[in-house]
Structure 1
Amino acid sequence: MRYALYYWSGIQGRGEFIRLALEDAGADYDDVARDQGDDAMTPFLEGKHEGALPFAPPFLKAGRLVIAQVAEILQYLGPPLKLVPDGDSRRLYAHQLQLTITDVVAEIHDSHHPIASSLYYEDQRSEARRRAKDLRENRLPKFLGYFEQVLERNGGRHALRQHSYVDLSLFQLMSGLDYAFPRAMQRLKRELPLLCALSQRVTERPRIAAYLASPRRLAFNKDGIFRHYPELDDPR
C-alpha cells in the first residue's frame, strides 16, 4: 500500500503524529502538501473528491479510503504497519491512550489560543498567561503523571508492553512540550523517569533517528501546536 498524507506544509502540527508512524514503519507514502502545496488539500476539504469528507487535516488516503483524525488514522495504520499489538483489548487500549494524547494536545494548543483560534496570540496574551499557568501547574502534571503510570503498569518500557504508535506519540508529546515549556518541563520531568527514558529510546530507533536528522523533520515553530512563548513558561 502506498499512502498519501495530507497536512499543512510548514508545520509539524498534528500531522507529525502520523508521519512518525509512517517513518518508523518504513512505509511507502507521499507527503502531499509538502510536494504539491497546501492547495492540494482543497478538493477534499470542499467535498469535491470521492470518499469520506474530512473536517480538517491531517487526513490519509489509502486506496479509495479517506481517513481523518489523528487517533482514527493511527488506529487504521496500526495493524498493517505492525505498530499495535494483536488482540481487540490491546488495540482498544491503544486507541484509548491515543485519544487521551489528543485531549492533552488540545489543551496545549488552547494555552496560547484560549479565546479563539481565529485571533492572533497577541490579541489574547493576558488570557493565555492565565491558561498556561493552569496547564503547567495542574493539567500537565495530571496528564503526564497518568502516562507515567501507564508505562509503570506495563513493564516500564512501553505503553503497551511492546513498541507501538502510542510510544511514538508520547515521544512527540514530550518533544513538543520540551520546546514549548522548557523550564516547566525541567521541573516536571523529575517525576517522569519512564517517559523520559521512553522518549530517548524512540530517538534511537534507526528509522526515527534517520528521520529526525533529515530535512523532512521540520523544526518546531510559532505556527504549530507547540509554541514557545517565554512568558507562558515557568517564571525564571
Structure 2
Amino acid sequence: MAYELYYWDGLQGRGEFVRLALEEAQAPYVDVARGAKEEGLGMSAMIARLDSDAPYPPFAPPFLKDGDLIVPHVANILFYLGPKLNLAPRDEALRVIANGLQLTIADFLTEAHDTHHPIASGRYYEDQKDEAKARAEDFLAHRLPKFLGYFERVLAQNPDGPQHMVGKALSYVDLSMFQIVAGLRYAFPKATKHLADRYPHVSALHDAVAARPNIAAYLASQRRLPFNETGIFRHYPELDRAAR
C-alpha cells in the first residue's frame, strides 16, 4: 500500500522533508491534499482526518498514514520511515543520533520561520514587518552561523567522513540538510552568497544530495513545489543582508 502524506497544498513547508525521503527511496505515496476531491483526496480529506474522532488524532500536518497507523511530526515520521526506506543507520545508537540531529534541524527551521512571523503565525507578515526585520537581523548575525557552524562541525567530526551527517551512508538527515540549505539560499540570497566558503562541508552535502538521480528527477518534476511566500522559507528583500 502507498503511504499517505498529509500536508497543506501549495507550499513545501515541513512536508517537504518527508517528501524528499519518499522520493529518494522511490516509495509509493499519495500527497493527499494535492489530490482530486472526486478521488476522496484534497484539502477536505486532510481536514476530515484532523477532525476524526479516532484515537490519537494528529495535532497538525504533516502526518503520515501507513495502514492503520498515523505518525505525526516530521522528525517522528522520518524516525519511523528511515529504517523502512533504508535511509537510517542500522546501528541503534546511530539511529538515535540521527533523530537528535533531525530535531536540531526542526529547531533551526522554527527560527527561520520566525524571521518573518516573529509575533504570531496567525497575523500577516505586513502586520509585523518591524519586528520581523529585527528578528531577521539577529537570526542572520547570530542564529544562522550558530546552527550552520554546528552542522559543519558534525560533518567534519563524523568518524566515517564528512560526506554524511551520521554514519557512512545517506540518511534522511542528509536529505533534510539539503532542504535547509536550499531554503536559506532562497530566503536570504545575500546572506548565503558565500555559504560554500564559510561552511564547505554543509555546501558539499547539499550539492551531493541535489545530484542524486532520484532527487534530481524530483527537483525537475512538477511534484516539487517551488519556494514561495506562503511557506517557511520566504524571500523578503528587506529582511536579507550580506553576511558580515
- Secondary structure, aligned partner of 2:193: helix
2:193–2:242 CA contact under 8 A, matched in 1: no
Identify, as 1 or 2, the structure richer in helix: 1
Of the structure 1 ranges 113-122 and 189-198, higher mean CA displacement relative to structure 2 is found in 189-198
Instruction: Return the alpha-carbon distance in structure 1 between the equivalents of residues 232 and 196 of structure 2.
Output: 20
| Pair 1:40 & 2:41 matched | no
Distance 1:60 1:17 in 2: 12
Which residue of 215, 220, 236 maps to 1:208?
A: 215
The yes-or-no answer on 1:179 pairing with 2:186 is yes
> Does structure 1 residue 106 correspond to structure 2 residue 106?
no
Query: Amino acid of the residue matched to residue 42 of structure 2?
Result: G
TM-align CA RMSD: 1.2
1:79-119 residue CA offsets vs partner (Å, 9 max, x unmatched): 01000011211000000000000000000011100000010
Q: Return the offset for 1:52.
A: 2.6
Contact 2:191 2:240 in 1 (8 A): yes
Name the % identity. 58
Query: What TM-score do the two structures reach when normalised by structure 1?
Result: 0.97
| Displacement of 1:43 | 1.8
Return the offset for 1:205: 0.8
Q: Return the letter of the residue paired with 2:174.
A: D
- TM superposition score normalised by structure 2: 0.94
Q: 1:65 aligns with which of 63, 69, 79?
A: 69
Deviations 1:152-179 (A, max 9, x none): 1111100012100000000000000000
Q: Secondary structure at the match of 2:83?
A: coil
| Residue 222 (structure 2) pairs with residue 218 (structure 1) | no
Q: Aligned partners of 2:242, 2:148: CA distance in 1, in Å? A: 20
Instruction: Tell me what 1:27 maps to.
Output: 27
Q: Which runs of 5+ in 1 are unaligned?
A: none
Q: Which whole-Å CA distance do the structure 2 matches of 1:148 and 1:25 have between them? A: 25
Amino acid aligned to 2:173: V
| Residue 206 of structure 2 is aligned to residue 199 of structure 1 | yes
Check the 8 A contact 1:51/1:66 in 2, yes or no: no
Match status 1:159 vs 2:182: no
